Structure 1
Amino acid sequence: MKNIPNNSILIVDDIPTNIKVLFEILNQAGFRVSVAKNGKSALEKVQEILPNLILLDVMMPGIDGFETCRRLKHNPKTKDIPVIFMTALSETVDKVKGLQIGAVDYITKPIEYEEVLARINVHLELRRTQLKLVQEEKMSSLGQLVAGIAHEINNPVNFVSGNLIHAQKYIEDLLKLLHLYEIHTPHPIPEIQAYSTQIELDFLKQDLPQLLSSMTMGTERVENIVRSLRLFSRLDETALQLVQLHDGIDSTLIILGSRIKATSIRPNINVVKEYGDLPLVECYAGKLNQVFMNLLSNAIDAIDELIDQVEANTNKQSPTIWIRTVVTSDEKSILIEIADNGVGMPQEVQQRMFEQFFTTKPLGKGTGLGLAIAHEIIIEKHGGTLEVNSSPGEGTRFVITIPINCTPVDC
């Protein structure tokens, strides 16, 4: 079975020989391995490293494996980490007890090389698939929600927009008629003169056309938003399409508009767009919108995180996201850069950021799948590249290249 590299595993066992055997097996298979020699140590270490899977010995002094597992499953931060028990116990009642507590599987001692790797890979793959499906379902639900909102807004906006054209013509006609009355009736009766003064007729004549113009601009703005929502909502479309990538980026910015606006602790995030003259690109439009959503959301998170830090009080830079697009020199690909002046990342985080489940965000704010899925969409679905350049406190820059004509096997 194919091993899943770069996943972290915590071994919990009080017998050094067992630890040595497992460490060598897993290390050679490409896993990152941590060790705890008892239940208490495991409960402390798991909070720090949040492994992707735990191999847990049943029979240990102090807090045994069953109690350790029970505490792990009662902790919101660790409850979803798969636990595989390791035991020499063969009684069915013991295995049932472990599974009822929350373990996903058992490995019987003495340890068998192929069995260990097979069971670990199965449960890591299952967890990856489960979380990926949850992530994709969230994006699909978002697309459906956005499409529904766009549909509901579209009809009344079209009604207002269509009637504004007639209202503007009617008001122009009435103002012309009023002007004729003023020319041919220079001395109106006192009642008309008093009412004209009451309603500030001179101001009304000047302001009403401007008011209509503002209303027209407002409806045009809403129509553009609806158009952007419809573009973004193509998440479920699976066919290759010729699209303008700028439309996908702009529609994503519309969705994230509320997060870009000023908060109680920071001003508006300035979005600087340097768009090149791009041709239509053959791609999975909805999937690329998902990539833009993940990268732009991360950029906003990075800016907010920097501002939250104490040292950010001395940061005089305006919060900014830069988006640049250009055709590559060989005219075969599109280059997209998304950069921010947020908190940045150390080198060790950059080396792991595209791994499944890896996240530096606090509990409840990240699954560790957003960038991994973005990487998969760009690399595997489009045959492109996704690179990152970042330094702590210096912001982050993602660089995407997408072939103008999709060529991978699965295209």
Structure 2
Amino acid sequence: MSVEGNCQFSLPVFCEGSYQDLRLESNLGELPLFYFEVQLSLNCADILPLFEKYPLLPGVVLRDSDRFFGMISRQRLLEFLIRPRGMELFLNSPLEVIYSYARTDLLLLHETMPIVEVARLALRRSPELLGEPIVVEMKSGKYKLLNIHELNIAYWQIRGIETQLRFERVQAQMIQSEKMASLGRLVDGVAHEILDPVGFIWGNLTYIDNYSTALIEIIEAYEAHIGEPVPEIEALKVDLEFEFLKEDLPHSLDSIKNGAQRLKTLATSLQNFCHIDEVFPKPADLHSCIDSVLLLLQSRLSGEIEVVKNYGHLPPIHCYASQLSQVFMNILSNAIDALLNQAIDREFTSKFQGSQKLSQSARKSRIEIKTQLGSPDENESQQPQPRWVTIQIADNGPGMSPDTLEATVESFSVQRRAQKETSLAVSYWIVTARHGGRFRLRSQLGEGTEFEILLPAF
């Protein structure tokens, strides 16, 4: 059965004079939009002909019956299909299967949102999502797709800005820096506002514990001095499950205490991570920085990934703590992504090649973090050398091929960063330029990847 027979599809209509009539207050509803919705049960093979027929179609909106479920862009869909064995695994599978692996953070906005504000939100997305289409919710309840290029055209016409690509990159870097600073201040303020009520909760839990204990003691004292049980009271105790309440109340209070403590720790980690560094470096505990980042990434660290920490005895290091936290975040995020992708590959291997072949190469996903105080390996002088702090973050993921490793190292150069700034390139700049340290990358295909950061301990 054809896709056209299962869902409604309409091409975006470009109004010849629409761009000329744009105003600063113009909204998304005035731009050309794609309407293409299908059910999750539909196979990938059924919609591929439509992407070939309509080359400007940016993606497809997914529905679960009458409920909005998500969106897969053309780029993400084709990326998964052209992967090794991608056609075999996904082509004849329901869209729900490929969406479970290709899903990304959506930018879902209402059609009444101003174009200028939407363009700012789109620019603030992470680099790998800048080309993703925007999902627009219409007043009618339908969901349509906006090509990012149409948004850019409208935005630049509204602003009346015409510039060269190099100037755009410089402006994008300035916007990104300001965004990170603003986001840091915002999160720091939110974390502070969270800590205040947590303090109230924590301070009153002790009184609630004492009050509940006293009330139960009073009830037990009444029961001891009343000879015959009162039927009405006994019936009420049964209805309220008094015995269970008396036993479960202390456990509930302990659970609230644990939750308040976890919330306090998380808010403190957010404050430390988003703290805006001063002009000059200050002493910081690197172990606390790493632990805070691990706490923020806890939701991504599934039970399949084991984190091993071998911390040495480190003195406080003069550094820009939040910038180093960003370095640790970038490295650990890359390691987690690699391990999760490896787990997905193993899952497909176990399904389509059998568990026997999988058991020969299966190993538990692992991230090892090691810190120590010493000297760089390449110091050949026999004279006393300054002390250096070494932070090694290694994973047993799929690793990199020699070509990929060479391309990654080349991206650290100034020329490459000007063309495309990656998270690892930013980390390299923070360690080397801002802290006078050294940033090393070692990787072997099939064995894993190791990052080594050396910082002067003075």
What's the TM-score once normalised by structure 1's chain length? 0.60
Question: In the TM superposition, what is the alpha-carbon distance from 1:268 to its structure 2 partner?
Answer: 4.6
Q: Distance in 2 between matches of 1:229 and 1:240?
A: 20
2:267 alignment partner, one of 215, 223, 226: 226
Q: Distance in 2 between matches of 1:76 and 1:223?
A: 37
Question: For residue 287 of structure 2, what is the aligned residue in structure 1?
Answer: 246
Question: In the TM superposition, what is the alpha-carbon distance from 1:130 to its structure 2 partner?
Answer: 4.9
Q: Is the 8 A contact 2:277 2:320 kept in 1?
A: no
Larger Rg: 1
Q: Which runs of 5+ in 2 are unaligned?
A: 1-129, 133-161, 351-357, 376-384, 414-418
Question: For residue 395 of structure 1, what is the aligned residue in structure 2?
Answer: 448
Question: For residue 136 of structure 1, what is the aligned residue in structure 2?
Answer: 177
Question: In the TM superposition, what is the alpha-carbon distance from 1:219 to its structure 2 partner?
Answer: 0.4
Question: In the TM superposition, what is the alpha-carbon distance from 1:294 to its structure 2 partner?
Answer: 1.1
Give the secondary structure class of the aligned counterpart of 1:317: coil
Q: Distance in 2 between matches of 1:371 and 1:235?
A: 20
Q: Is the 8 A contact 1:244 1:279 kept in 2?
A: yes
1:297 alignment partner, one of 307, 326, 333: 333
Question: For residue 197 of structure 1, what is the aligned residue in structure 2?
Answer: 238
Q: Distance in 2 between matches of 1:211 and 1:288?
A: 39
Question: In the TM superposition, what is the alpha-carbon distance from 1:230 to its structure 2 partner?
Answer: 0.7
Question: For residue 322 of structure 2, what is the aligned residue in structure 1?
Answer: 286
Query: AA paired with 1:284?
Result: Y
Give the secondary structure class of the aligned counterpart of 1:325: strand
Quickly say closer, same or farther: Cα 1:323–1:136, change in 2 above 3 A: farther
Give the secondary structure class of the aligned counterpart of 1:258: coil
Query: AA paired with 1:319?
Result: S
Q: Which runs of 5+ in 1 are unaligned?
A: 1-74, 78-101, 106-122, 262-266, 359-365, 406-411
Deviations 1:320-374 (A, max 9, x none): 222222222678222111112222111222233244489xxxxxxx954211221
1:371 alignment partner, one of 405, 420, 424: 424
Quickly say closer, same or farther: Cα 1:153–1:279, change in 2 above 3 A: same
Q: Is the 8 A contact 1:231 1:247 kept in 2?
A: no
1:321 maps to 2:367: yes
Question: In the TM superposition, what is the alpha-carbon distance from 1:304 to its structure 2 partner?
Answer: 2.6
Question: For residue 226 of structure 2, what is the aligned residue in structure 1?
Answer: 185
Q: Is the 8 A contact 1:338 1:399 kept in 2?
A: yes
Q: Distance in 1 between matches of 2:211 and 2:291?
A: 36
Deviations 1:360-410 (A, max 9, x none): xxxxxx9542112211211222222211221122221111121222xxxxx
Question: For residue 199 of structure 2, what is the aligned residue in structure 1?
Answer: 158
Q: Is the 8 A contact 2:369 2:391 kept in 1?
A: yes
Q: Distance in 1 between matches of 2:184 and 2:177?
A: 10
Q: Distance in 2 between matches of 1:256 and 1:142?
A: 18
Identical residues among aligned pairs (%): 39
Quickly say closer, same or farther: Cα 1:142–1:323, change in 2 above 3 A: farther
Q: Is the 8 A contact 1:146 1:229 kept in 2?
A: yes
Question: For residue 393 of structure 2, what is the aligned residue in structure 1?
Answer: 338
Quickly say closer, same or farther: Cα 1:160–1:386, change in 2 above 3 A: same
Q: Is the 8 A contact 1:333 1:401 kept in 2?
A: yes
Q: Is the 8 A contact 1:306 1:393 kept in 2?
A: no
Deviations 1:241-291 (A, max 9, x none): 111112211222233233324xxxxx5533222222322111111111111
Question: For residue 408 of structure 1, what is the aligned residue in structure 2?
Answer: none
1:277 maps to 2:330: no
Quickly say closer, same or farther: Cα 1:370–1:291, change in 2 above 3 A: same
Q: Distance in 2 between matches of 1:309 and 1:357?
A: 29
Quickly say closer, same or farther: Cα 1:398–1:128, change in 2 above 3 A: farther
Question: For residue 258 of structure 1, what is the aligned residue in structure 2?
Answer: 299
Quickly say closer, same or farther: Cα 1:343–1:324, change in 2 above 3 A: same
